[in-house]
């Protein structure tokens, strides 16, 4: 019906079927009642949910606090995103290394969505961001208790195009607001899936939702909120102003089922 790559769509549906079969076989293990309820109602059921985190010192972070805590080491970011409509698909070619303070200056005063610290920059940034982790936690019981396992997303007015992830994610909002537009895995054939986990649609507008008769769920993240984004759920993300999100994938249950291939 739409401009999908039929091979990728078929492969994606088959992959999701395997994931659901494997999820159905998981057991929660010895956990507290709240974590067990989360496991059955959301993790195993592949259903998103929002909940409030316990107070973290990190919720008091500002740009000045980040400068003070981290200093000015070299960090890796995505840069020149505006020069490439496929900046997310081509993320490896947008990697740049620069001092942390100039990154913050460019992020806050330069063109919106042009520079962004993302999950794909994590490896080189681990040492630079180490001073932050003492302000993170307590983590929910569904996660391994490793605050430094987070993927850091830091940018201004950023847009992440439509895609889905190959793991379950817990998105913990630290600073600013983000809007997520969510589409369940069974709508893959309406979403212009053309390679792996990616769609051609970018940010999915209301007009596209109506034209394609999509079922959409809009979710707003604010500081102190945690959003469980299940594996296979399509989403595009738009930040309002400066926003910082810590994303965890280190659940206490299995969270890897291979990659989508055609």
* Domains in the chain: ranges and CATH: 6-248 (2.60.120.650)
CA 222 vs CA 115, 171, 183: distances in Å:
21, 11, 20
- Answer yes or no: are the C-beta atoms of 114 and 84 closer than 8 Å: no
Q: What is the pLDDT of residues 158-188, one digit of tens each?
A: 999 999 999 999 999 999 999 999 999 999 9
Q: Which residue has the higher pLDDT, 58 or 196?
A: 58
pLDDT score recorded for residue 209: 98
d(CA 192, CA 118): 24
**Residue 4, pLDDT above cutoff 70:** no
Q: Is 86 helix (H, G, I), strand (E, B) or coil?
A: coil
Q: What is the pLDDT of residues 105-140, one digit of tens each?
A: 999 999 999 999 999 898 889 999 999 999 999 999
Q: What is the pLDDT of residues 25-80, one digit of tens each?
A: 999 999 999 999 999 999 999 999 999 999 999 999 999 999 999 999 999 999 99
**Residue 235, pLDDT above cutoff 90:** yes
pTM of the predicted model as reported, rounded to 2 decimal places: 0.96
């Amino acid at each position: 019906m739409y401009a999908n790559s039929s091979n990728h769509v078929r492969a994606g549906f088959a992959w999701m079927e395997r994931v659901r079969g494997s999820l159905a076989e998981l057991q929660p293990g010895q956990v507290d009642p709240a974590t067990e309820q989360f496991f059955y109602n959301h993790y195993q059921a592949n259903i998103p949910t929002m909940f409030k985190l316990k107070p973290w010192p990190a919720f008091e972070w500002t740009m000045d606090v980040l400068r003070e805590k981290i200093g000015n080491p070299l960090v890796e970011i995505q840069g020149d995103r505006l020069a490439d409509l496929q900046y997310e698909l081509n993320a490896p070619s947008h990697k740049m290394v620069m001092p942390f303070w100039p990154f913050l200056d460019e992020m806050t005063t330069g063109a919106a969505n042009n520079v962004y610290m993302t999950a794909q920059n994590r490896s080189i940034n681990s040492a630079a961001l180490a001073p932050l982790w003492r302000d993170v936690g307590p983590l929910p019981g569904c996660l391994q208790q490793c605050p430094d396992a987070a993927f850091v997303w830091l940018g201004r007015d950023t847009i992440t195009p439509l895609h889905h992830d190959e793991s379950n994610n817990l998105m913990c909002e630290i600073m600013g607001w983000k809007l997520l537009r969510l589409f369940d895995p069974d709508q893959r054939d309406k979403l212009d899936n053309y390679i792996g986990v990616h769609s051609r649609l970018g940010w999915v507008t209301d007009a596209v939702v109506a034209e394609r008769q999509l079922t959409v769920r809009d979710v707003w993240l604010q500081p102190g909120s945690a959003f469980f984004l299940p594996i296979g759920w399509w989403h595009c993300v738009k930040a309002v102003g400066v926003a910082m999100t810590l994303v965890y994938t280190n659940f206490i249950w299995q969270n890897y089922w291979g990659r989508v291939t055609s």
